Chains A and B, each alone.
Chain A
Amino acid sequence: MRTVERGAPSPTLVRVEDLEVHFPVRRSAFGPKSGVVRAVDGVSFQLRAGDVLGLAGESGSGKTTVARAMLRITDPTGGRVVMDSLDISKLGRAELKRFRRRMQMVYQDPYDSLNPRLKIGTTLEEALMVRGVRPSERTNGVRHLLERVGLSGAYALRYPHELSGGQRQRVSIARALGVEPSVIVCDEAVSSLDVSVRAQILNLLRDLQETERLSLLFISHDLSTLRFIADRVAIMYLGQVVEIGGREDLFDRPLHPYTLALLAAVPEPVPRSQRRPVARLTGEVPSALQPPGGCRFHPRCPIAEDICREVVPELRRKAAGHLAACHLVPDAPPIGVP
């Protein structure tokens, strides 16, 4: 699945190709496999330098699993994750260490992602340790990291329980920055925070992304957050990407019925002047153990037709820089055809 981009392409940092993460389900530890959970089932996208790519979807869509597979927290069972021309999904533990410095993650739970028994400074020093900073220079380094995320150097002496949720996430961001990565994956990084704090952290991330020239993969179930921070957004459903496109394209001209339904569910403080067909989502997300045949969304899709039940739709280009996996959305004319 290749995409054709609009505008001047910046270099691709990470390319995910047909990523699969399947978990076997067993009745007992050594028993026979009785089923497979296809948490991620053929996901592809690219993350370009300086881009913020949003990954959206409900719980169970597989978005967190994608992130964990990219960072090798979980191992992929198929597909590739290519960075610096190397497939990092196949690297051994030793070689993997080098790539730890290229890609880092900020986690969802600010209360458990920092070791409660270590001072903030110690936690951050570890990031510097990985980078190879000399012990004598680490204290300064920690102070700089804290300042970059908007905290004073004094916080180095504090313990996590003395900090608020927002402050803890700042520390987590500082820790990720400490190894000087090119890519930071934010896994629901603001979902546990109060709304007012959320805006602060999102702004911080955006600023850092510009000043440090980072690429962000921002995972969230909250579309309004993604609208704020992402340049491009991919929508996931039951382990597959169903739509991917630039921010304006996706939010103003959504193509896939699932995207439409998600957007319709987003509460807006001021009613829209533009009327959009309201697609109400019915039913529940099916089990990932036995996904529906054909298009996985077809049981809940208001416009499903026979072909949707039988044939799996591919992710195809429907407009410039905008792809969707739906039989009922016409493909874009091939490039070069007037």
Chain B
Amino acid sequence: MMAYLLRRVGWMFVILFGVATVTFFVAYMVPGDPARMIAGPGASAATIDSIRHQLGLDQPAARQYIDYMGRLVTGNLGISFLHRVPVLTAIFQRLGTTVLIALGGVFWELAIGIPVGIAAAWKPRSIWDRAGTAFALLGLSAPPFWLGLLLLYYLAFQHSIFPLGGVGHPLLWYLILPTFTLGIGGAAWYTRMLRSSMLEILRSPYMQMARAKGMPSRILLWRHAMPNAVIPLITMAGMDLGYFLGGVLIIEVVFGIPGVGQQAWQAVQVLDIPMIMGTVLIAAVFIVLMNVIVDLSYALFDPRIRYR
């Protein structure tokens, strides 16, 4: 187990290194002159040069790369052009809201996906199954931003059940529509996965045997089929948490929520490179971390993996 852990964490650092390198290259190949952008219009050439020197932009690429990696290790993601504050600080300030949304998304994913998936698998080809499958297909096919708009239009505008975007008190109430929109796509996916894996389990020889021996179907469903099918889903949801932190951008823009995504979006408008790439980097790091955590927890539960 120890060996597996070390190996996995080792690869994690390799991947993170790769991620940081890619991020550097993207930031590096930006057209335009960051020094000029920071200096602002009308600045003298001398000012621009001094800023350029301060930022180390007049160094050769290799040197900039090493400096960049060095800064990363100390947690310095640069200064936002727009806000003039360290990128990392700005991100962490807004991280709370965004993480809440991501968690909410995972909640809805599981809260909807699991029951609908089970209902669909329980009676294949019944009305439940067809409705569940239809729901899943639609959920997969609808663009999240459009769905969000639709919900806002009908549930917040036409009928003022929910607030029309933004945040306020109580926070969770404001987050219901956004998290639901975020989670629907995943819910659709999980419905399908759960349905097919449960059907596979229910059809397996050992299930047929149990049924032939007279075990009531309900016990079969709840005690045997469901746990086996659901556990992988929970771990997948863990990985989704990582991915959501990136995908949350659209949701925040649609619903006007001041989170990390919205901040990144504002940065894109003005080409605030440090903020953009800093956000991308943080999101990637989260994804990698969540993947490692999920893999390790798999290894904890399934001894076969450790010996691979």
Contacts and interface: CB of A to CB of B under 8 A. Distances in A.
Answer whether A and B are interacting partners.
Answer: yes
Interface string B23-65: 0000000000000000000000000000000000000000000
Nearest to B305: A28
A28 B2 CA distance: 12
Nearest to A27: B307
A154 interface: no
A31 interface: yes
Contacts of A28: 3-4, 306-308
A28 B304 CA distance: 10
B218 interface: no
Interface string B278-308: 0000000000000000000000000000111
A30 B307 contact: no
B7 interface: yes
Contacts of B3: 28, 30-31
A303 interface: no
B306 to A, nearest CB: 7
Interface centre among A28, A29, A30, A31 (most CB of B within 10 A): A28
A21 B54 CA distance: 64
B9 to A, nearest CB: 14
Contacts of B308: 28-29
Interface string A23-52: 000011111000000000000000000000
B43 to A, nearest CB: 57
Interface residues of B, number: 6
A14 to B, nearest CB: 38
Interface residues of A, number: 5
A155 B308 CA distance: 45
B243 to A, nearest CB: 28
A30 B308 CA distance: 9
A279 to B, nearest CB: 41
A116 to B, nearest CB: 26
Contacts of A29: 308
A28 B3 CA distance: 9
Contacts of A31: 3, 307
A73 to B, nearest CB: 24
A31 B7 CA distance: 11
Contacts of B7: 30
A29 B306 CA distance: 10
A27 B304 CA distance: 10
B8 to A, nearest CB: 12
Nearest to B307: A28
Nearest to B6: A30
Nearest to B1: A28
A34 B3 CA distance: 15
Interface in B203-234: none
A211 B123 CA distance: 67
A60 B163 CA distance: 73
A29 B11 CA distance: 15
B224 to A, nearest CB: 30
Contacts of B307: 27-28, 31
Contacts of A30: 3, 7
A254 B4 CA distance: 53
A29 to B, nearest CB: 6
B94 to A, nearest CB: 42
B134 to A, nearest CB: 37
A27 B306 CA distance: 9
A140 B307 CA distance: 53
B99 to A, nearest CB: 35
Contacts of B306: 28
Nearest to A28: B307
Interface in B92-135: none
A25 B307 CA distance: 12
A183 B51 CA distance: 77
A28 B6 CA distance: 13
B11 to A, nearest CB: 12
A27 B1 CA distance: 11
Interface string A213-230: 000000000000000000
A73 B306 CA distance: 29
A27 B3 CA distance: 11
A28 to B, nearest CB: 5
B183 to A, nearest CB: 37
A70 to B, nearest CB: 31
Interface string B1-19: 0011001000000000000
A30 B6 CA distance: 12
Contacts of B4: 28
Which has the most chain A C-beta neighbours within 10 Å: B3, B7, B306? B3
A238 to B, nearest CB: 27
A29 B4 CA distance: 10
5 contacts: A28-B3, A28-B307, A30-B7, A31-B3, A31-B307
Interface of A: 27-31
Given A28-B3, A30-B7, A31-B3, 8 more contacts: A27-B307, A28-B4, A28-B306, A28-B307, A28-B308, A29-B308, A30-B3, A31-B307
Closest 7 A/B residue pairs (Cβ): A28-B307, A27-B307, A29-B308, A31-B3, A28-B3, A28-B308, A30-B3
